[in-house]
Amino acid sequence: MKRLLSLLLPALLLAAAVPPARAAGEQALDLSCPSAVLMEKETGTILYEKNPHEKLAPASVTKVMTLLLVMEAVDSGRLSLDEMVTVSANAAGMGGSQVYLEQGEQMSVDEMLKCVTVVSGNDCAVALAEHLAGSEAAFVERMNQRAQELGMADTTFLNCTGLPAQGHVTSAYDIALMSRELILNHPAIQQYATIWMDSIRSGEFGLTNTNRLIRFYPGATGLKTGSTDAALYCMSATAQRDGMELIAVVMKAPTTNQRFEDAKALLDYGFANYALAPVYPEAPLAPVEVLLGVQAQVQPQLQRECRLLIRRGEESQISTRLTLAENVEAPVDPGQTLGQLDVYVGSQLRDSIPIQASQAVQRLSVPGIFSRMLSSLLMGR
C-alpha cells in the first residue's frame, strides 16, 4: 500500500533557474568562431551550440585527452605524481610549445602535468605518453579508444599533442565531452589549470598560463587553449559560479583575442540564463513500517542528491511528488527501493530520485514471531 503526497517546494528554493538546451528560435550569440558548444558540467546538458559536430583541427586542445588519461592513471594508482619521467630523444625533439626538455632529463609527473596544462608543453605531453604507454603510438591508440568510450564520434587522434597532422580532427561537442569527463571525475586537474604563473627547474624556467581567462575572468577554473595555422585559435574554457561549472568550447576563432571573447560570451550567456537548484522533499521522510522485522521501522533516504538545471525565473515552477511505501516486509536490504521522488518544472517531469532503505532489517525468526505475539497478548491484558 502506498501513499501519494504532492509537495510544493518554496519559491525561495534558489534565485536562479534553467531548462535543457537553447530553445529553437532563440537569438544566437555574436561569435566569431564557426563552431562552439556550451555545456553544464554536472548534467552534461548542452546550453548553447553552433555547428557542434563540425570536424576541425583542435591544435593543443587535444591535450585535454592526454591530461585525462594521465589523471586517470594517477587517480587509479597506476601512476604517482612523485614518479620521475625520463625524457626520450623523441619527446625532446617535439618542437612547438615546449619547456625545452633534454634527452635523458628527468622530471616528476607532477611537474610535467603542470607544464602540459599551463604552457601546453608538447615535449612533456609526449614524455608522459611514452612513460605511461611505452610509446606515443600506443598512447594515441588508447586516446582513440577512450574517445569511443565517451561517445566522441567526430574524433580521430593521430598524436597526443595536437601538432598538425592530416586527419587529426575532433569537434566542439567532443571536446566538451572529454573536458567534462576530466573536470567532473578528476577535479585535481584544477590545481594545475588555475595556475597563472609558476616555474620549474628550481625557479630557472618561468611558466605563464596560455589561458588568459584564468587571470581575467571571474570564476575561471581552466582548461586548455590551442592554436596552429590550420586550426586557428581554439579553447576549452571552464568556469564556476554559484555552484555551477560550465564548459565553453571555441573552435577556429580568427584571432587569439576573439577566441577569449567568444569563450567569455558563451560563459556569460550560461551564467546569466541558467543555474543549478538543489531539490529536497518539503518535509523529512517518515520511517516506513517493517512487517515481521527485528526492527519495527526502517528510515528511507534519497538515493542521491538532486540538483536541477533550470532557466533563471523558473524556480517557482519546481514541484515534487513523493511516492513512498507505507510498509515493507522483512528482510529489508540496504538500498532496497521504498519509493521515489519525482521532480517537475511546471508539468514537465525533470528527474526521478529513488528512495531507498538506509539500513538492513532482518526478518524475525519463528520463535521471535511467537515471542512478539505473546508480548502483544500480555500487553493487551
Active site residues: 60, 63, 120
SS3 178: helix
Alpha helices (H) in 77-149, listed in sequence order: 89-92, 109-119, 122-133, 136-149
What strands lie across the sheet with 2-8, from one edge to the other? 2-8, 318-325, 337-345, 348-357, 300-302
Crossing angle of helices 136-149 and 172-185, in 10° steps, is 90
CA 25 – CA 370 distance, rounded (Å): 70
Q: Is 377 helix (H, G, I), strand (E, B) or coil?
A: helix
The residue assigned the cell 630557472 is: 204
Euclidean distance between CA atoms 339 and 215, whole angstroms: 48
Torsion of CA 169, 174, 176, 179, to 10 degrees: -80
Residue 21: all three cell numbers together? 538546451
Phi, psi of 370 (to 5 degrees): -65, -35
Name the helix (H) or strand (E) containing 215.
Answer: helix 213-216
Closest CA to 231 of 170, 176, 175, 182: 170
**Cell numbers at 196, concatenated:** 597563472
**Closest by Cα among 208, 235, 238 to 224:** 235
- Residue 111: closest CA among 193, 201, 187: 201
Look at the block and give the residue holding cell 519463528.
Answer: 366
CA dihedral 5→353→313→18, nearest 10 degrees, is: -160
